[in-house]
Amino acid sequence: MQRYVVRAPVNFTARRAALPAYQGRGRKPVRGALVRPLPRTYKGRTIAATPPDRQETWQLRLGPTSLSLHAAFWDDLVCADAQPGAPTFSTVLIHDPRVDEPLLLNTTLPLMGAHWQAFYRDRWPVEGLPLTAKQMLGAARQFVFAPESRQRLPELALVAGAIFMYRAATQPALPTGFWDRAPKPTSGRLRRLLAAVDCADFGGLPEPLRKKPSPTMHLPKGILGHRRQRKPRTVRYDMPLAA
């Protein structure tokens, strides 16, 4: 991947892309030095974090107030199990005073700390539409093969997901059960409510929108309904048959 911003776990480790200098004894190093952005505890012993390559501090405006955020950077890294010459990336650790756990991100983009935080915060609005369309409305379980259908299905799924998210956000919050004491207007809660509704309950629908009672039990479903068939196996006789 050429461009990405992904969150890493708190126990994430990487290696330097360059090999360390040979000390003159033992085997020559074949991998870079290990980089650990956050300290960790192993068998009661604390393993210290690797010092960052550079650091940044900036102010985040929140109305009349402002917050001071701090970021630590590690550049020219490869995966912990990768060899020298693998694609490199950078790691940033962002400390926000509003959150107890720092934000650990990996990317190949040459960004500043404020840009990294803004890029990651923009992930959730972008991923909301396909998540609602695929998981909530079932578009992930639809399979098409024609070129036109492969173009139309994602378009219709995104439109349906946008409408569904808008309806869920504009109506009052619906609790899932008695345990949901602070419900929020999310698409998942609206989907659970609509899952308990049957088409027969909508008696005022016009005739073209009514459910058509067509028998479909005799039709193959799922993968069995594909029109692809296995070609019959042909047998070749290279040797002439005996008379």
Retrieve residue 147's tokens: 């070129």
Q: Do 7 and 105 form a contact (C-beta atoms < 8 A)?
A: yes
Whether 13 and 113 map to the same domain: the answer is yes
Confidence of residue 159 (pLDDT cuts 50, 70, 90): very high
Q: What is the DSSP letter of 200?
A: G
What pLDDT is stored for residue 231 in this prediction? 66
Task: Provide the angle, in degrees to the nearest 10, between the axes of the packed helices 147-170 and 123-131.
Answer: 110
Whether 92 and 132 map to the same domain: the answer is no
242: in domain: no
Is the pLDDT score of 241 beyond 60? no
Confidence of residue 181 (pLDDT cuts 50, 70, 90): confident
Q: Do 160 and 127 form a contact (C-beta atoms < 8 A)?
A: no
Highest mean pLDDT among 17-31, 68-82, 222-236: 68-82
Retrieve residue 178's tokens: 């008695």
Count of domains for the chain: 2
81: in domain: yes
Domain residue limits at 163? 126-200
45: in domain: yes
* Residue 235 burial (C-beta neighbours within 10 Å; 0-12, 13-18, 19+): exposed
Among residues 93, 121, 149, the one where a domain terminates is: 121
Whether 174 and 91 map to the same domain: the answer is no
Backbone angles phi, psi at 214, to 5 degrees: -95, 135
Confidence of residue 74 (pLDDT cuts 50, 70, 90): very high
Is the pLDDT score of 92 beyond 60? yes
Cα–Cα distance list, 76 to 71, 91, 160, 236 (Å): 17, 9, 42, 59
Q: Do 17 and 115 form a contact (C-beta atoms < 8 A)?
A: no
Is the pLDDT score of 213 beyond 80? no
